[in-house]
Structure 1
Amino acid sequence: MQSHYTRLTDDQWKVIKQFINWQRNRELDLRNVFDAILYITRTGVQWRNLPFPNFPDWQAVYYYFDKWKKNGVIEKINLSLNFLERLQNDRQATPSLGLADSQSIKLAPMICSHRGIDGNKKVNGRKRHVLVDVRGRIYQVHVHAANFHDSPQGVNLLDEKAPYSERLETIIADKTYRGTFAKAVKQIGIEFEVPNREKSTKGFVIEAKRWVVERTFA
């Protein structure tokens, strides 16, 4: 994990640019645009506070981010890098085990859309669900107001037609995903498991394998 923001290396850009129309003549350097998007995701800065002239105008950067998000470019890049990283670590390209979990996040006071209070965590904001493999690489994300329950909302993580699903055999999640989510998982031919915890244990206990998704959130 990076401790601070760094720009793309030549090798990294060589992989990413295969997914975008970078050869067309344009005023903006798409590599600089992609660097700006990574800067925002790494630092959490607001779009309007994107440092200029280090990066292009924030509106231009957001235009490409919105475009690449809607046409699936960012998702394709993410999946391809996940597959490549797995192959480099002597694993098959697609995972057989998935790990699901959610995290409630506070929102800034001025943000009103898709906002709610998680009564359990006492968080006023949104909840994000992720589906990762055993290395913590993200394959699916779903975000919603924090007052909705995990199980029915977690169904949005499931996509049996997605390229990564061809080998998926089991999904592990905590007990809040029982019910609607568990039934939906089984309906598409995948096993659902909840980690067992010894009754004698007290306090915080690291659960086998599921700690990986907690690391992804961190």
Structure 2
Amino acid sequence: MRSFDGLLEVRVVVHGRRAEVWGTQPTQVFTPPHSSVHAVFARWERAQYVDDLHDTLRDRLRHTAGRDVEPTAAVVDSQSLRAAETVAAGSRGWDAGKKLNGRKRDIAVDTLSLLLVVLVTAACVQDRDGARPLISRQVRTVSTCRPVCRAMRALERPLAA
């Protein structure tokens, strides 16, 4: 996968993991076969290159904004999303508050709204129950960061580091 622009290569591999996006690539740009790009993305995912790339880009953005590279605070929130019928029933749940069958994504972002951690659960998982593993994962990933959580009850019990 050669190109004159290294950033283009990263964009093609990261966006190439989904076949439906593949047809939307610009026609002027050489795009290798989807199966080749998906294989590269799968290797990157196994080696955690995608996580490393994300963390490096976040660090550079924080440095450019004049902030410390390591965030010191995080905001945790969740959002319920309707799931397609093709999503396995075991990973979906009923959110009674929003009256939808789907999944819930819990996220932790820093004060610049840059993504720190994501956790996807069934929509029936309460915010406080989803926040605990999210915060535990965030503490392992970004140890300098103290969570500021919308679901404060999740913080009442001590976290296992």
- Counterpart of 2:126, as a letter, is H
- Give the paired residue count: 152
Determine if the alignment matches structure 1 residue 120 to structure 2 residue 97. Answer: yes
The CA distance in 2 between the partners of 1:145 and 1:66, in whole Å, is 25
Decide whether aligned partners of structure 1 residues 90 and 102 sit closer, same or farther in structure 2, where only a CA change above 3 A counts: same
State the Cα RMSD in Å: 2.9
- Counterpart of 2:155, as a letter, is A
Q: Aligned match of 1:47 in 6, 9, 19?
A: 19
Identity among equivalent pairs (%) = 22
Decide whether aligned partners of structure 1 residues 145 and 55 sit closer, same or farther in structure 2, where only a CA change above 3 A counts: farther
Q: Aligned with 2:102: secondary structure?
A: strand
Query: Which has more strand, going by share of residues?
Result: 2
- Counterpart of 2:140, as a letter, is K
The CA distance in 1 between the partners of 2:88 and 2:159, in whole Å, is 35
The CA distance in 2 between the partners of 1:188 and 1:84, in whole Å, is 30
- 1:139 aligns with 116
- 2:155 aligns with 182
The CA distance in 2 between the partners of 1:37 and 1:121, in whole Å, is 35
Which residues of 2 match residues 10-21 of structure 1 at below 5 A? 10=5, 13=7
Q: Which runs of 5+ in 1 are unaligned?
A: 1-8, 14-30, 190-218
Deviation, structure 1 residue 48: 5.1
Contact residue 98 and residue 134 of structure 1 kept, 8 A: yes
Q: Using structure 1 for the length normalisation, give the TM-score.
A: 0.59
Determine if the alignment matches structure 1 residue 68 to structure 2 residue 44. Answer: yes
Q: Which runs of 5+ in 2 are unaligned?
A: none
Decide whether aligned partners of structure 1 residues 69 and 95 sit closer, same or farther in structure 2, where only a CA change above 3 A counts: same
Contact residue 48 and residue 58 of structure 1 kept, 8 A: no
Determine if the alignment matches structure 1 residue 83 to structure 2 residue 62. Answer: no
Q: Using structure 2 for the length normalisation, give the TM-score.
A: 0.77
- Counterpart of 2:96, as a letter, is G
Q: Aligned with 2:116: secondary structure?
A: strand
Decide whether aligned partners of structure 1 residues 130 and 91 sit closer, same or farther in structure 2, where only a CA change above 3 A counts: same
Deviation, structure 1 residue 65: 2.5
Contact residue 102 and residue 129 of structure 1 kept, 8 A: yes
Q: Aligned with 1:161: secondary structure?
A: helix
The CA distance in 2 between the partners of 1:50 and 1:95, in whole Å, is 34
- 1:111 aligns with 87
Decide whether aligned partners of structure 1 residues 62 and 123 sit closer, same or farther in structure 2, where only a CA change above 3 A counts: farther
Whose RCO is larger (CA < 8 A, sep 6+)? 2
Deviation, structure 1 residue 112: 2.2
The CA distance in 2 between the partners of 1:100 and 1:146, in whole Å, is 16
- Counterpart of 1:182, as a letter, is L
- Counterpart of 2:68, as a letter, is Q
Determine if the alignment matches structure 1 residue 150 to structure 2 residue 122. Answer: no
